[in-house]
Structure 1
Amino acid sequence: MGLLFALGSVVLVSAAQLLLKWAMIQLPDISQLPQFLSSLSQFPLPTAALFLGLLAYALSMLCWLLALKRLPLSRAYPLLSLSYLLVWLAALWLPGLNEVFRWGKLAGAGLIVSGLLLICWPAAKTR
Structure 2
Amino acid sequence: MDLVQTITENELGFIAGLDYGQDRDRHEAALRLVINQQGGQLKKAQQWFPYEVIELGAHHLQVGHEREFAICTLLVIRSVRSGFDKATDLAEKRAARDDDYRLLPANLRDAIDVEFSDAIRAGPKH
TM-score range, shorter chain: 0.3 to 0.5
The structure in which a higher percent of residues are helix is 1
> Structure with the greater relative contact order (CA < 8 A, sep ≥ 6): 1 or 2?
1
The TM-score, its normalising length taken from structure 1, stands at 0.35
The TM-score, its normalising length taken from structure 2, stands at 0.35
